[in-house]
Amino acid sequence: MAVDPHFRPLLDDPTTEFRVPPAQVTPAMLREAALARRPASTGPAVHATRDIAVRGAAGPITARLYYPSAAADLPLIVFIHGGCFILCDLDTHDELCRSLANASGFGVASIEYRLAPETRFPGPLEDCYAALVDLESRAAELGFDRSRLAVCGDSAGGNLAAAVALLARDRHGPRLRHQALLYPVIEAACDSPSMREFASGYLLSREFMRWGWDCYLSSKEDELHPLAVPLHAGSLAGLPPMTVITAECDPLRDEGEAYAERVAAAGVPVIGRRYLGMIHGFMSLPRITPVAERAIADVAQDLRAALC
């Protein structure tokens, strides 16, 4: 199936594709430029939001809490944003988190972990894990049910969410009831068939993804580290049930589906959904494609089945 025609105006604009910047443009400068172009948020209303300080690996970091209702003891989805390990923040994913909270009826805590290359692996991952542990310990005071936890992440955040689930298993940390990975970054080689087929012209480019890995990893050896590249984990048994969302016209499609197959082969219940005609990041583009809301509803349904 060809790319959904709703995306044609976006993809035909050469300024929208994620490309490696010139050498003189630092990641910090790239973030500033992206911030200057960012439109005002117009996400759906939720009952309440608030920003709080939570524990990170090297000091406090920020989490944004979303409450879809005034109900007590809400299940909690810990959300980890994408951005190729380099970009994005709480505001870029505010609309997606609001939609996820409303669709699921659960609380959402979005984590503002430290970004690469200023903080390389395992720093961002340890931030996310420390925040999960802190949120679980404070769940009652924050209005959440510590026994009903899930982790969710999109793109690079999907990588971090998968690794957080591995850490929670191996460190006997918070018990996660589900993990939802939205078109996740899983493999550092950037050489799958979909990575080659959709290398450019589909918003996320292969070269930008390679640059993201170069910024995130601390050494060449990290390309095989199971917490940096979950596809290389020796054992995937004992993980929480998983939802994996992939997009047909996404360079990351095949690695996400390969991870789903490996996790399922380890005996973990897995729901895999490929959305035809979609591109990377489509769930954050509800004003371009109605499939975004459908996919959010699908993920919310999986989370409700796991946490209710």
Q: Confirm if 245 and 270 have CB atoms less than 8 A apart.
A: no
Whether 250 is a known active-site residue: answer yes
Sorted by sequence, the CB contacts under 8 Å of residue 73 that are 6+ apart come out as: 143, 144, 145
- Residue 131 and residue 118: Cα distance in Å, rounded? 19
Residue with tokens 């459908």: 294
Contacts of 163 (CB under 8 A, 6+ apart): 125, 128, 227, 228, 230
Active site residue 170: no
Question: Rounded to an integer, what distance in angstroms lies between the CA atom of residue 248 and that of residue 262?
Answer: 19
Q: Which of 4, 94, 127, 250 is catalytic?
A: 250
Which residue reads 């984590």 in tokens? 111
Q: Is 145 a catalytic residue?
A: no
Catalytic-role residue among 93, 99, 280, 302: 280
Q: Which of 110, 155, 192, 284 is catalytic?
A: 155
**DSSP per-residue letters across 42-69:** -PPP-SEEEEEEEE-SSSEEEEEEEESS
Cβ neighbours of residue 68 under 8 Å, at least 6 residues apart? 46, 47, 74, 101, 102, 104, 105, 106, 107
Please identify every residue annotated as catalytic. 155, 250, 280
